[in-house]
Amino acid sequence: MRGSKILKNPFSQIIEIQDRMFQVKRILPENKINMNNEDWPSFLKNYYHADTVLRANSQLWICNEIQIISYVEI
């Protein structure tokens, strides 16, 4: 993916895209998924318990976004 980087993690694959971080759950080739049905992204999200589906390099990246926590000093 252009403008992204993959972070080294021994337990899971994490990618950073435009200052957002995602934990990759599964990578699938595009040709294995029937994309004629317009509801295919929500099916993949429900099936893999993910919140994001990204397309790049003829692959589908099924991911969960890592939320950034802002701490407030009391």
Q: Is the CA virtual torsion 56, 15, 18, 2 positive or negative?
A: negative
pTM of full prediction above 0.85:
no
Q: Where are the domains of the chain?
A: 4-66
Print pLDDT tens along the chain (74 aa).
566 777 666 777 888 888 889 999 999 999 988 888 888 899 999 999 999 999 988 999 999 999 988 888 88
On the 0-12 / 13-18 / 19+ scale of CB atoms within 10 A, 14 is middle
